[in-house]
Amino acid sequence: MERREAIKYTAFFMGATLSASTIAALIEGCKVDTSETWVPSHFTKEEADFVNELSETILPKTTTPGAKDAMVDRFLDTVRPLRYTAEENEKFKTGINTLMEQAKKDLGKDFVREAPEKRLEWVNTIDKNSYDAIHANPDMKNEERPFYLSLKEQILGGYFSSETVAKNFFAFDPIPGSYDPCMPYEKVGRAWAL
Partner 1 sequence: MYFNNEGANEVTYDAIVVGSGISGGWAAKELCEKGLKTLVLERGKDVKHGDYPTATMEDWEFPNWGKITPEEAKKYPVQSRTSYIMHAAILPWFIEDAMQPYTEVKPFDWMRGYHVGGKSLLWGRHSYRWSDLDFEANAKDGIAVDWPIRYKDVSKWYDYVESFAGISGKNEGLSQLPDGKFLPEMPLNCVEADFREKLSKNMKGRVVTPGRVAHLTAPLTGSTRGTCQYRNRCMRGCPFGAYFSSNASTLPAAYATGNLTMRPYSVAHSIIYDKESGKAKGVRIIDAQTKETKEYFAKIIFLNAGTLNSTLIMMNSPSDRFPNGFGNDSGELGHNLMDHHFRVGGDANVDGFTDKYYKGRKPAGFYMPRFRNIDAASKQKDFIRGYGYQGSASREGWWRAIAEAGAGGEWKDKWQGPGQWSIGMLAFGECLPYHENQISLNTGKMDPYGLPTLSIDCEWKENELAMRKDMVSSAGEMLAAAGYKDVTTYATGGNPGLGIHEMGTARMGRDPKTSVLNEWNQVHACKNVFVTDGACMTSAACVNPSLTYMAITARAAHHAVEELNKQNL
Question: Which is closer to partner 1, CB of 48 or CB of 67?
Answer: 67
The CA distance from 73 to 150, in Å, is 15
| Binding of residue 30 to partner 1 (CB under 8 A) | yes
Among the candidate windows 35-43, 75-83, 92-100, 105-113, which touches partner 1 by CB under 8 A? 75-83
Among the candidate windows 37-45, 52-60, 90-98, 99-107, which touches partner 1 by CB under 8 A? 52-60
* CA end-to-end distance (rounded Å), the chain: 24
Among 44, 83, 101, 144, binds partner 1 (CB under 8 A): 83
| Binding of residue 52 to partner 1 (CB under 8 A) | no
Closest CA to 127 of 93, 92, 103: 103
| Binding of residue 3 to partner 1 (CB under 8 A) | yes
Among 34, 85, 105, 115, binds partner 1 (CB under 8 A): 85
Q: In angstroms, what is the minimal distance from the CB of 139 to partner 1?
A: 16
Among 48, 51, 59, 72, binds partner 1 (CB under 8 A): 59
Count of residues in the chain: 194
Binding track over 147-186 against partner 1, x by CB under 8 A: -----xx--x---xxxx--x--xx--xxxxxxxxxxxxxx
Q: Please check whether residue 172 is in contact with residue 166, taking contact to mean a CB–CB distance below 8 angstroms.
A: yes
The three-state secondary structure class of 34 is: coil
Burial 1-16 (b: 16+ CB within 10 A, else e): eeeeeeebbbebbbee
Q: Please check whether residue 70 is in contact with residue 164, taking contact to mean a CB–CB distance below 8 angstroms.
A: yes
